[in-house]
Amino acid sequence: MDRFYIGFKAICEGWEKGCRKVIGLDGCFLKGTIKGELLISIGRDANNQVYPNAWAVVEVENKPNWTWFLELLRDDLDLDGGRDLVVILDQHKGLFESMKDILPHVEHNNYPRHIYASFRKAFTGYACEAVENGISECFNSIILDARKKPFDLHA
Q: Each residue of 87-118: pLDDT tens digit?
A: 888 767 688 888 888 888 887 655 565 566 66
Work out the mean pLDDT of the chain and round it to a whole number: 80
Rounded distance, CA 41 to CA 129, Å? 35
What mean pLDDT is predicted for residues 115-131?
Answer: 65
Rounded distance, CA 120 to CA 112, Å? 12
Percent of the chain with pLDDT strictly greater than 90: 28
Domains in the chain: ranges and CATH: 4-110 (3.30.420), 114-148 (no CATH)
Structure pTM? 0.69
Rounded distance, CA 151 to CA 131, Å? 30
pLDDT digits (tens, 9 = 90+) for 38-63: 999 999 888 888 899 999 999 999 99
